[in-house]
Amino acid sequence: MTDGTNTAASKTITSASSPAFTDGANPVVASTSPADGATSVALDASFSITFSEAMTTTDITTTTLGRSPTFALGSAVWSSGNTVVTYASHDAWAGLQIYTIDLVQGSINSAAAGDSTLDNSAIVADPYTFTTVAASSGGGGGGGGLPASMTVTAPNGGESWAGGSSHNITWSATGVTDTVNLYYSLDSGINFPYTIATNETNDGSYAWTVPNITSSTVKVKAVAGSLNDISDSNFAITYTTPTVSVANSTIVASPTSVVANGTSFSIITVTVKDAASVPLSGKVVTLASSRGSSDTITTVTGTTGADGKATFNVYSSTAGTSTYTVTAAGTVLTSTVSVVFTAVGAPTTPGAGETPTALSVGDLIKSPLSTSVYYYGSDNKRHVFPNEKTYKSWYVDFSGIKSVTASQLQGIALGANVKVRPGTVLVKIQTDPKVYAVEPGGLLRWVPTEARATTLYGSAWATKIIDVPVIFWVDYTFGSDITTDQHPTGALIQYTGTTDKYYIQGAERRLISTAGFTANKFLLSNVLSAPTTISYTLGTPITAEETALTRIY
């Protein structure tokens, strides 16, 4: 050994004479299990990471380990001098699924003085991936002894589909008899929050009406029992400008009878919708009378707004009946509406000399001579609320109700009775102690036990019961009893300790955005607090008005 001055056969550096040494190298990941690129990994295999030196164990949390697709980890178990962390408990992985693990560098530190953050650039790929083994199907049978498998064959990458068009999703399944659930992703398969169909027959094909959106990172996922597969690569959906639907667009006149004095008028409201009943904005609308120049048509709003509506006022000094035809964005609607112009001095609806109240679809109306409140529908009819409690399942208070004259009200034909809003309250009649939940269409489902009522509606469930007048009981029909802890379709829930609100639709929970909550006129008073033990499949979010959710009669 040479000390720079003297040479000797040997020298000993003692602890007393040596300087202090510091290990300044950052820790690295020495290995992982499963290893990067591993295949056929067992669905319940332990998950572990081996570091090059002892680590600060409190740094390793579920938030420092990114996982795609996500799966819940149990408690971390450290061994080998805090160099190995193992998760023996975790959610079962899906079969034939590629998983990606990302170690959040900068958040994981060595326990040794002088060392700092994880440097994972040289030893193990970060992120790293592994592929699980094929799961066995709960359905069993079939396949001639081959392992159970599920493979999406179309769309499998590279396709370009027009929004609103129809295409077949196809898959092949071996040894699988379960029904199939289909989902789609807009982030290259990282998440699949959008439901296409559930409980479909496993026949290898499903006709999908493609959503009218624009995205180049779409993938489809097929799930059957514990098996699943996704499109190998991204495919694209291109937004297409929706066309006017002559079947779904409507035209309404209010009132339908006015005096032919050249000043009294009827308001004609046109609502332009597409084939999916979505209101279309920016569409130019024109109105024509069957009597030509005998009528005066004043355009109030000739281009549809966000609600798809255009409005006109019509006058005449000539008695008779005019039929009005609508052209929207160059398309002539099949629906028409008629207005009767009565001679001056003749009886009219509303009464002679009275100024009509302008009405639009969705207005709440009543006469000063009665306490009854009606909903003015797109069928030009008034639909009565049987009682106050039925009304308040839809509206929080009585503000916004329009007062119309008795003669104008009488001139509007009676329609269907309004039923309790689905999912909001429980109903019964005085002559029967049975309590029922209400689903869309007035379908009643018996809640057979207090325990189930408590689980679904809370300890104060009895305060949510309203009596339906016997004469209106015939408006409802009866479905199956509620024999599981699942809320009825139409219920609004919020899991304990969270702020997100969901709409229950069958076996799905659909996240409601703030805009969707307002647009569909949901009420906070109808939101149920749900225990986390009740689970649902995540469905398509509700971000705007959906006519099926707001239909009142």
Does 351 have pLDDT greater than 90?
no
If pLDDT is split at 50, 70 and 90, which confidence band does 64 have? confident
Q: What is the pLDDT of residue 304?
A: 92
Write down all domains in the chain, each with its CATH number in brackets: 29-132 (2.60.40), 143-238 (2.60.40.10), 246-349 (2.60.40.10), 357-418 (3.30.2390.20), 426-550 (no CATH)
Q: What is the pLDDT of residue 355?
A: 64
8 A C-beta contact, residue 250 and residue 270: yes
Q: What is the pLDDT of residue 143?
A: 38
Does 114 have pLDDT greater than 70?
no
How confident is the prediction for the chain on average, in pLDDT? Answer: 83
- The encoded tokens of residue 329 equal 């964005």
Does 73 have pLDDT greater than 80?
no
Q: What is the pLDDT of residue 22?
A: 54
309-316/266-271 β-pairing: antiparallel
How far apart, in Å, are the Cα atoms of 434 and each of 45, 387, 422, 426, 449?
50, 20, 18, 10, 10
pLDDT, tens digit (0-9, with 9 covering 90-100), for 141-154: 333 444 677 889 99
Residues 6+ apart with CB under 8 A from 61: none
8 A C-beta contact, residue 333 and residue 288: no
Residues of the chain above pLDDT 70, percent: 86
If pLDDT is split at 50, 70 and 90, which confidence band does 348 have? very low
Residue whose pair of structure tokens reads 């950052």 in the numeric block: 26
If pLDDT is split at 50, 70 and 90, which confidence band does 105 have? low
pLDDT, tens digit (0-9, with 9 covering 90-100), for 269-282: 999 998 778 888 88
Residues 6+ apart with CB under 8 A from 193: 183, 185, 511, 538, 540, 541
Greatest mean pLDDT among 81-85, 167-171, 356-360: 167-171
pTM metric for this prediction = 0.40
Task: Tell which wins on pLDDT, 261 or 184.
Answer: 184
Q: Closest by alpha carbon to 105, among 71, 146, 74, 64?
A: 64
Q: What is the pLDDT of residue 415?
A: 86
Q: Which residues pair with 346 in a beta bridge?
A: none
Q: What is the pLDDT of residue 314?
A: 93
Q: What is the pLDDT of residue 14?
A: 46
Greatest mean pLDDT among 122-126, 134-138, 208-212: 208-212
Q: What is the pLDDT of residue 350?
A: 47
Q: Residue 288, class by beta-carbon neighbours within 10 Å (0-12 exposed, 13-18 middle, 19+ buried)?
A: middle
pLDDT, tens digit (0-9, with 9 covering 90-100), for 366-382: 988 778 899 998 888 88
pLDDT, tens digit (0-9, with 9 covering 90-100), for 281-327: 889 999 999 999 899 999 999 999 888 999 999 999 998 899 999 99
Q: What is the pLDDT of residue 254?
A: 81
pLDDT, tens digit (0-9, with 9 covering 90-100), for 412-423: 888 889 999 999
pLDDT, tens digit (0-9, with 9 covering 90-100), for 448-504: 999 999 999 999 999 999 988 888 888 999 999 999 999 999 999 999 889 999 999
pLDDT, tens digit (0-9, with 9 covering 90-100), for 229-256: 999 999 999 988 888 888 889 998 888 8
Task: Tell which wins on pLDDT, 515 or 39.
Answer: 515
Q: What is the pLDDT of residue 5?
A: 41
Q: Residue 160, class by beta-carbon neighbours within 10 Å (0-12 exposed, 13-18 middle, 19+ buried)?
A: exposed
Q: What is the pLDDT of residue 378?
A: 84
8 A C-beta contact, residue 200 and residue 206: yes
